[in-house]
Amino acid sequence: MADNAPTAPVRVDAWLWSVRIFKTRSAATTACRAGHVKIDGDPVKASVKVTPGTVVRVRRPGHELVLEVVHTPAKRVGAPVAQKAYRDHSEERIRPRDVGLPVRERGTGRPTKRERRQLERLRGH
């Protein structure tokens, strides 16, 4: 598809699925029903049409994606093509380990009593 070719309006849930924001279309539809997808600050139904220039906000655990629609693919596309279908205007995510806060590694199990005491001291309890 040429970069300047006009694209037809497509449902927001189908667009989110086709550009790989969600693994399945039903997951995108569920996110719309739960109010996690917004256009112009208002929660939208899955059937709302998006066109190039539309700004879609998707709330995810710990952050929010702000995506501007560039073009609307007719079907699910590969990752390199999907990244060209939108512009990401999201704020950069700050992770605790980037700030220098202590973080337990995944899979290390429950904290020991000593570690719990250290965490309580750190939190000021």
The tens-digit pLDDT sequence of the chain (125 residues) is 455 455 789 999 999 999 999 999 999 999 999 999 999 889 999 999 999 999 999 999 878 999 999 999 989 999 999 999 999 999 888 776 677 776 778 888 888 999 889 888 888 87
- Sorted by where each begins, the domain ranges of the chain are 1-93
d(CA 122, CA 116): 10
55-60 and 37-39: which strand pairing?
antiparallel
50 - beta bridge partners? 10
**Which residues fall within 8 angstroms of residue 40, CB to CB, at 6 or more apart?**
55
User: What is the pTM assigned to this prediction?
Assistant: 0.73
Q: Give residue for tokens 């390199």.
A: 80
In this predicted structure, what is the pLDDT of residue 59?
Answer: 95
**Cα gap 66→44, rounded to integer Å:** 15
CATH number for the region 1-93 comes to 3.10.290.10
| SS3 (DSSP) at 85 | coil
